[in-house]
Amino acid sequence: MDDTRQTEIALENRVTLRKLLVVTVMMFGFGFALVPFYEKLCDVTGINRLVKRDDHKPANTQIDTSRQVTVEFDANLRSDLPWTFKPLVTSVRVHPGELMTVVYEVTNSAPHAVTGQAIPSYGPMLAGQFFRKLECFCFEKQELAAGETRQMPIAFVVDPGLPGEVNTITLSFTFFEVAGRGPSSAAISPTSTSAPASRIQ
């Protein structure tokens, strides 16, 4: 009787093992299938554009001088990041199609080097589709030495296609601490003499 029971248990174990192997293979395949799906989703929703350069730059002939848009600047830090972070100007008025540069300042208060990554967000969300970042510290991780202060520019254009009912755009950056080394300080060098905001003709 015991031998029969042991044989049944062994058979049940083999069946269970086969089922687990099938489930594992299916999950592995599903994981691979999710990669192109996720990439497509990011492309459609614009997630990939958040920290990538916008190569499309409207020409100066596209400047809409009949209209101005207020761009407000905000700066945030995750609570575990020992930095101070702020824009040197809180807002600017721009014509759609006009190239504008503003500067953010960040200081590492920690007694050691810390690396951070800035993630932008827009208000209203719709505005993100019409906000072209041509130069931005958010394109790369930023490593600051202990006590270092760095001024970092962002050059942008508000696309003339921005819906007429949108008169104000809020650009907000949140810095998160990340592992690994960022670019050398030469990649985005301190710009202590840079103007807080400037129009590029």
Query: Tell me, what's the pLDDT at 14?
Result: 74
The predicted structure's pLDDT at residue 36: 52
Model pTM score: 0.66
Q: Does domain 55-199 have CATH number 3.40.50.2300?
A: no
Taking a C-beta distance cutoff of 8 angstroms, is the pair 81, 136 a contact? no
Q: Where are the domains of the chain?
A: 1-45, 55-199
Q: What is residue 4's predicted lDDT score, i.e. its pLDDT?
A: 72
DSSP 153-199: EEEEEE-TTS-TT--EEEEEEEEEE-SS----TTTT---TT--SEEE
| Segments in the chain below pLDDT 50 | 28, 30-35, 37-39, 41-42, 44-50, 59-60, 182-194, 201
